[in-house]
Structure 1
Amino acid sequence: SANEEDWGPRPSRMLKCWRDVPGYKLFVKDKWNSFQVNGWGGYVLKEKLKMIKAALKDWHIAHVQNLPSRIESLKDRLSVLDQKGEEEDLSGIELDELHGVTADIQSLSRLHTSISWQQSRSRWLKEGDANSKFFHSVLAGRRRRNAISVIQVGGVTLEGVSPI
């Protein structure tokens, strides 16, 4: 909004699960070494970090985007292979594909779970408890428990706000 201060460019965020994607470390190392920047050390570091951030955005889209649809297509292929296996014996190539598809589904599912968990944690840290239905229900329960609606004074029971 108009009242917010400009804190500069957003910081680069790395998802921990990227390390589990085959080729990630090699990609980062090759990209980092390919960037040629002249200047003093701090400037070179800043510029290389900007360039690696942009390269990682593109890499993320190519390698990690659309995980649910990739998992679904693998499940469809697994279903086809299972169906064929029930009707007739699978060839060696098809058995290898069956095992590969199963391993890919497990790998992509772990990756998707890890990304979802990390993104939900970062969202929770950013938004805090303010938007949490659970947080509000706990507060409402505490308010009800801590409220004094009935009090007994000298053997007389008082109810309601005005007598209390």
Structure 2
Amino acid sequence: MLKKDFSIVFDNAWNNFHGFGVPDKYFQMKLKYLKGTLKEWRSVEVQKECATLKRTRELVDELDVATETRKLTDLEITTWRESKVRIRELEHVAKLDLQQKAKVKWISDGDENTRFFHGMLKNNQRKNKIHGLIINGVWSSEPENIKKEVFDFFGIKFHEPWPDRPKLISPLFKRLQPDQSSTLESSFSIDEIKKAV
């Protein structure tokens, strides 16, 4: 419906239908004809969009390759920018089409595994829930007591026994030379990026 030609195609199909019969059958046939016409129009449009997207991507790729060897002219830079915008628009339209198809498929087919997954989630929640703990030899199901006991338990487990860890200083460890350590912080060269990609 976002296409500018949509309303023209719709109006033509709606007005050009000729049929006969009782009103409800006539209306059903009219809708069927409309659906077929729109489907046919959309398949042609999709082919055009795919061809345009392919050509535009090829143009952008050519300009990207040209950038590596020379400086682009102002016209080429403008063309590159407009092509990138066009690619984004076409990809957005394709994404909207896919979303619409997914919604239609979900509505018609339904989610066949919904009951199974909800059952699994409820089962996991039941298994993972802590209903109570024995604290100091007494069963407690109060949430505040359980939270405090769990917090204290893990606080002891993760307590650091040493205020300062010993430092590992030894002449036996291998060390980087100053020129080696400076290369760790240097930026990547174009050759390195091309080799990685």
Compute the TM-score of the two structures, normalised by the length of structure 1. 0.58
Asked if 1:101 corresponds to 2:83, the answer is yes
Counterpart mapping for 1:32-43 below 5 A: 32-43=14-25
Residue 22 of structure 1 corresponds to which residue in structure 2? 4
Q: Can you list the C-alpha shifts for 1:94-138, whole angstroms capped at 9, x where unaligned?
A: 566434432321221111221222333344443326169975763
User: How far apart in 1 are the matches of 2:97 and 2:120?
Assistant: 28
Residue 45 of structure 2 corresponds to which residue in structure 1? 63
Q: Can you list the C-alpha shifts for 1:54-100, whole angstroms capped at 9, x where unaligned?
A: 112212221136967864553232121333356244474x5664344
Pick from 112, 121, 126 the counterpart of residue 138 of structure 1: 121
Q: Output the amino acid matched with 1:138.
A: L
Asked if 1:120 corresponds to 2:125, the answer is no
Asked if 1:75 corresponds to 2:57, the answer is yes
Name stretches of at least 5 consecutive residues in structure 1 with no aligned partner: 1-18, 158-164
User: How far apart in 2 are the matches of 1:133 and 1:66?
Assistant: 42
Residue 110 of structure 1 corresponds to which residue in structure 2? 92
Give me the identity figure in percent.
19
Q: What SS does the aligned partner of 2:19 have? A: coil
User: How far apart in 2 are the matches of 1:131 and 1:97?
Assistant: 49
- Which structure would you say has the larger Rg? 2
> Is this contact kept in 2: 1:78–1:102, CA < 8 A?
yes
User: How far apart in 1 are the matches of 2:38 and 2:97?
Assistant: 15
Q: Can you list the C-alpha shifts for 1:116-161, whole angstroms capped at 9, x where unaligned?
A: 223333444433261699757634422422598x997xx699xxxx
User: How far apart in 2 are the matches of 1:134 and 1:66?
Assistant: 41
Q: Aligned-pair RMSD on alpha carbons?
A: 3.9
Change (3 A) 1:131 1:78: farther
User: How far apart in 2 are the matches of 1:134 and 1:68?
Assistant: 37
Name stretches of at least 5 consecutive residues in structure 2 with no aligned partner: 140-197
